[in-house]
Amino acid sequence: GFGWKRYYELEEIEAWLDSILAAYPSVTEGFTIGKSFEGRTIRGIKISHGTNKPGIFIESNIHAREWITSATATWFINELLSSKQTAVRSLADNYDWYIVPVFNVDGFEYSHRKDRMWRKTRQPHPTNNCIGVDGNRNFDSHFMENGGASDNPCSETFAGAAPWSEPETKALSDYVTSIKDKFNVYLSFHSYGQWLLTPYGHTMVLPPNYDHLQDIGAAFAGAIKSLPYATEYVHGSTATVLYVASGSSVDWAYNELDKKVGFTIEYRDKGRFGFLLPPAQILPNCEELMAGMIALIDKTKQLG
């Protein structure tokens, strides 16, 4: 059966998602974002124990090779539904969760079949042989401004010909916009580096509620550090801690949808294994996310 001791392919993850929807029909609902370039359905799950609780949106595996992100997202879904721990129950009972475990479905499939290190989507470029766009540069928020995104279709950070040039990002933006009144927190799962990154990516200028976001970031990092693994996460703004990168999903949700809380989570490790995080680290990474998430949500609530 499905578990978290190895990485799974898209088909296995989807079959698992179906089994979860069937096992918890009263508190789950499957949703569809739309279709990928190659025609796959991009799916999500809503977990809700009531109506109109504050919502949290999680987008995962926008970068194909970052397999730990969907492994962690599926584990998190399973915990929300089956954990008996009080802190986890309160996350499940008090929030509406919208979770897309594998967003870049075509790229994810390609990373399993042909090229483990594939990052981008899979739409061919019309005038050369290069394929795909960096989904996290293709959002309509300061698109192609200030560097960190490329106009070269062969680059790993190719932003695309225009914002929303890819069916996947277009579909996600339409879906997220359609439910924008239902959620306050937007999270994007990535690897690797052990960072919790606030907006902005497109500029070193700090966002208006940066202090607030840093308090949340400190709570997240502190909770992870206090586990037996003592893993260290650094928190700060994307452009100041990591690098300048415009057109990302988190900046778009923060800027265009007026979300007050948006984070990019860069999971384990710090480069020893990088994108090839050994399966034995899936569960430790998941435990870290849960500790961090409980603290993140708690701090978000306290700060209002």
295: nearest Cα among 201, 227, 200:
227
Q: Mark the segment that binds ligand 0X9 (CB under 6 A) among 25-33, 121-129, 179-187, 248-256.
A: 248-256
- Report how far residue 217's alpha carbon sits from residue 195's, in angstroms, rounded to the nearest whole number: 9
Could you tell me if 100 and 187 are in contact, meaning their C-beta atoms sit under 8 angstroms apart? no
* Catalytic residue flag (residue 266): yes
Q: Which of residues 59-98 bind ligand 0X9 (CB under 6 A)?
A: 63, 66
Does position 264 bind ligand 0X9 by CB under 6 A?
yes
Q: Work out how close the CB of 65 gets to Zn ion at its nearest, in angstroms, rounded to a whole number.
A: 8
Instruction: Give the nearer residue to ligand 0X9 in terms of CB position, either 92 or 144.
Output: 144
Q: Work out how close the CB of 19 gets to Zn ion at its nearest, in angstroms, rounded to a whole number.
A: 28
Binding partner of residue 245 among Zn ion, ligand 0X9, none, CB under 5 to 8 Å per kind? ligand 0X9
97: nearest Cα among 10, 26, 174, 185:
185
Does position 137 bind Zn ion by CB under 5 A?
no
Out of 65, 190, 235, 259, name the contact with Zn ion by CB under 5 A. Answer: 190
Does position 245 bind ligand 0X9 by CB under 6 A?
yes
Q: Work out how close the CB of 129 gets to ligand 0X9 at its nearest, in angstroms, rounded to a whole number.
A: 23
- Report how far residue 282's alpha carbon sits from residue 5's, in angstroms, rounded to the nearest whole number: 7
Residue 156 backbone class (left: φ over 0; alpha: ψ -120 to 50; beta: rest): alpha
Please give the residue ranges that form the binding site for ligand 0X9 (CB under 6 A). 63, 66, 136, 190, 197, 199, 201, 238, 242, 245, 248, 250-251, 264, 266
